[in-house]
Chains A and B, each alone.
Chain A
């Protein structure tokens, strides 16, 4: 099967920045894929090249098998992009904006689908409102609708939930998830790592223009960070035999290393023997944020 997105040796130099340094990446059809990285890692540059807004210095990018430069019309017809910037055209209403966007993609009489998009994005009562009168969150939703007017097989969302309230975030993701379940490939960049963790099957992490991690989300979680045990103790001290496990302490709260659950029982019995009571206990699971921070601290190229 043709890859939804295929990047080969993708390289981009701006006058002062080497934004992408030879990216090779395949994203398969139907994936829910996250592209993570700190500001300036090259995420938006990568997406811009895919969308034809930026031209690569070297290498190639394909969308559904179509080269984004040579077959730009075929590639663009198969791609829907929600840009990061909150842009809108103040001259037009929401419905006009969506009708125009449909027309640009060669679709006439798209009102049934436009109405469905508006309903799903909570914009039904704003159809005839000028986009300049909408709140930031609503402008964002119009951008999502614009990216979906032509039901693209590949949907790219660049920081789609920045500045969007929690309730909308939930409904937006529910809607995008339905697209994904219907077979559309979804690629997102986000600063909210818990979103990527909850939604995405596979994660790529970018740092200084290089791909430093690429794996299924659960593998990254497993490999990336150890489990840890947080205990609140009375009295606030630790028996000597547990001291090597100590990784952090905040007054009566002790953070211990816990590579495996089987080591939980010996720790507790050691505390019992020392006459130390456990007031509170919490087993911390590794989350994507920890993995992310750990990888970002490590040198470039250290793929786990």
Chain B
């Protein structure tokens, strides 16, 4: 890998690492609050899978939701900050290829997402024991899903002209998609209509497949989930790279 790519990746990781309390501490705390409140309210009443406590059921969803939201936040906020402050020229002037640019932001967003995810996992272990039935599935769904949200973050960061635009994407796209994906419940508990709707949400397959990796059971076949999520990741990667290559909103 070229020096330019490695430097940009390192810079992007260092950027969030320097403000770890904000970029990792805060989202871990948020996830912890969800865990405390939902498990307090629902632990005694809900059992989604036989032999799995609700608190344990909740954890994989919370972990992946944190991975996804923070992968999005990392690439999008880094780009909008650089654009608004103008220091984006520091990476537009050097001979960095479009692919290197793309991969550096993608990997940095994944690192941030996984760091937060790991934090949520570690904190969650104080509240519930968590088995890991199929680690390869956990990793596969974590990576592919994280890549999808990293790409959306890059595209949103390039598209947005100000922080407000980004907040709109966050509130009207990212939050509904993740909250209505079955993080807090199994879609089997929904009415047939909403079950059908849920199956059109790619985030549902991400959460379900990720959870399958922990418990060995899910709402749909994990291979079907992978067949949805991996093409999503590939198509979005291609779109992001093409957006960068076109110079859209970066090179006028």
User: Knowing that A76-B93, A104-B7, A107-B3 are A-B contacts, what are 10 other residue pairs whose CB atoms are under 8 Å apart, sorted by A's residue number?
Assistant: A53-B252, A76-B95, A77-B94, A81-B93, A89-B90, A90-B85, A91-B19, A103-B4, A104-B4, A106-B95
Assess whether A101 is interfacial by the CB under 8 Å rule.
yes
Mark B82-112 against chain A: 1 for CB-CB distance below 8 A, else 0: 1001110111111111000000000000000
Assess whether B216 is interfacial by the CB under 8 Å rule.
no
| Shortest distance between the CB of B171 and any CB in chain A (Å) | 26
| A87 in complex: contacting residue of B85, B95, B247, CB < 8 Å | B85
The answer to whether B251 and A103 touch across the interface, beta carbons within 8 angstroms, is no
| Shortest distance between the CB of A154 and any CB in chain B (Å) | 12
User: Which residues of B are in contact with A by a Cβ distance under 8 Å?
Assistant: 2-4, 6-8, 10-11, 14-15, 18-19, 82, 85-87, 89-97, 247, 251-252
- Interface set, chain A 68-95, CB cutoff 8 A to B: 72-74, 76-77, 79, 81, 83, 85, 87-92
Q: A53-B252, A104-B4, A104-B8 are in contact. Are A85 and B86 (CB under 8 A)?
A: yes
- Identify the interface centre among B11, B14, B86, B252: most chain A CB within 10 Å of its CB: B11
Q: How far is the CA of A79 from the CA of B97 in the complex (A)?
A: 16
Q: How far is the CA of A81 from the CA of B94 in the complex (A)?
A: 10
Assess whether A51 is interfacial by the CB under 8 Å rule.
yes
| B87 in complex: contacting residue of A77, A79, A88, A105, CB < 8 Å | A88
- Identify the interface centre among A77, A96, A97, A105: most chain B CB within 10 Å of its CB: A105
The answer to whether B94 and A101 touch across the interface, beta carbons within 8 angstroms, is yes
| B252 in complex: contacting residue of A54, A101, A103, A104, CB < 8 Å | A54
Residues on B with C-beta less than 8 A from A146 are 90
With CB as the reference atom, state the residue of chain A lying closest to B98: A72
Residues on A with C-beta less than 8 A from B95 are 72-74, 76-77, 104-106
The answer to whether B4 and A83 touch across the interface, beta carbons within 8 angstroms, is no
| Shortest distance between the CB of A169 and any CB in chain B (Å) | 23
Q: How far is the CA of A88 from the CA of B8 in the complex (A)?
A: 16
Q: How far is the CA of A255 from the CA of B251 in the complex (A)?
A: 51
With CB as the reference atom, state the residue of chain B lying closest to A102: B7
Assess whether A178 is interfacial by the CB under 8 Å rule.
no
For chain A, the bracket of interface size reads 35 or more
Assess whether A65 is interfacial by the CB under 8 Å rule.
no
Residues on A with C-beta less than 8 A from B19 are 91
With CB as the reference atom, state the residue of chain A lying closest to B19: A91
Assess whether A191 is interfacial by the CB under 8 Å rule.
no
With CB as the reference atom, state the residue of chain A lying closest to B247: A55
Residues on A with C-beta less than 8 A from B10 are 100, 103
Q: A72-B95, A103-B6 are in contact. Are A55 and B18 (CB under 8 A)?
A: no
The answer to whether A108 and B90 touch across the interface, beta carbons within 8 angstroms, is no
With CB as the reference atom, state the residue of chain B lying closest to A100: B11
Residues on B with C-beta less than 8 A from A73 are 95, 97
Residues on B with C-beta less than 8 A from A108 are 3
Q: How far is the CA of A79 from the CA of B93 in the complex (A)?
A: 8
Residues on B with C-beta less than 8 A from A14 are 252
With CB as the reference atom, state the residue of chain B lying closest to A12: B252
Residues on A with C-beta less than 8 A from B252 are 14, 48, 53-55
| B93 in complex: contacting residue of A51, A55, A74, A99, CB < 8 Å | A51
Assess whether A52 is interfacial by the CB under 8 Å rule.
yes
| Shortest distance between the CB of A126 and any CB in chain B (Å) | 18
| Shortest distance between the CB of B18 and any CB in chain A (Å) | 6
Q: How far is the CA of A84 from the CA of B73 in the complex (A)?
A: 30
Q: How far is the CA of A59 from the CA of B19 in the complex (A)?
A: 45
Q: A51-B93, A105-B94 are in contact. Are A100 and B7 (CB under 8 A)?
A: yes
The answer to whether A106 and B3 touch across the interface, beta carbons within 8 angstroms, is yes
Listed by A's residue number, 17 A-B pairs whose Cβ atoms lie within 8 Å are A14-B252, A51-B93, A52-B93, A52-B251, A53-B92, A53-B93, A53-B252, A76-B93, A81-B89, A87-B86, A87-B89, A88-B85, A99-B7, A100-B8, A100-B90, A103-B7, A103-B11
Residues on A with C-beta less than 8 A from B18 are 91
The answer to whether B87 and A89 touch across the interface, beta carbons within 8 angstroms, is yes
Residues on B with C-beta less than 8 A from A72 are 95
3 nearest A-B residue pairs (beta carbon)? A103-B7, A104-B94, A73-B95
